[in-house]
Amino acid sequence: MDIPVIVPQRQFASLEDFIENSNNFYAHLVVDCAHPRIGRKDRVWPCYERFNQSAPELAAELRKEMTMQNYGRARRGELWEKVFPWEKVWMAYKIMSNLVYIDDPSVEGKDDCVYLIR
């Protein structure tokens, strides 16, 4: 069996740095949005499925907390930091950043360090 080639993802210095610069990563975790990456089998990217398998408890917690209802609260003016469980989202990112493989769909080569956040 071949060892998969991991595509290193951008690393963030702190939780604050992650919240400010993680771009669309959180949006892919919102289970009832137009393009979730967890929770819907027809939309799951391989790295998200690997995440579900490697951290099932965290994935389950995120599916409960990452909802369009919470997203709507943020859009109506509540602080993003209070709407989503950012520490859990960052933990998921750190796990998932080691689960992106070069052969995954939409990965643009070995230097695609923004795959998870675009």
Residue 62 corresponds to which tokens in the numbers above? 């995120």
Which range, 30-34, 42-46, 105-109, is most confident?
Answer: 105-109
Chain segment 85-106, per-residue pLDDT in tens: 889 999 999 999 999 999 998 8
Chain segment 42-60, per-residue pLDDT in tens: 456 899 899 999 999 999 9
pLDDT over 80 (residue 64) = yes
In angstroms, the CA 18 to CA 41 distance is 27
Which carries the bigger pLDDT value, residue 30 or residue 96?
Answer: 96
pLDDT at res. 91: 97
Residue 13 burial class via C-beta count within 10 angstroms: exposed 0-12, middle 13-18, buried 19 and up: exposed
Question: 79, 72, 116: which is closest to 98 by C-alpha?
Answer: 116
Q: How many residues does the chain have?
A: 118
Please, which residues bridge with residue 101 across strands? 6
In angstroms, the CA 37 to CA 49 distance is 8
Cβ pair 97, 3 in contact under 8 A: no
In angstroms, the CA 79 to CA 41 distance is 31
Query: How far apart, in Å, are the Cα atoms of 107 and each of 39, 67, 77, 90, 111?
Result: 21, 26, 34, 21, 9
pLDDT at res. 42: 47
Which carries the bigger pLDDT value, residue 43 or residue 71?
Answer: 71
Give the model's confidence band at 84: pLDDT under 50 very low, under 70 low, under 90 confident, else very high: confident
Q: Is the pTM of this model over 0.85?
A: no
Question: 24, 2, 21: which is closest to 115 by C-alpha?
Answer: 24
Mean pLDDT of 33-43: 50
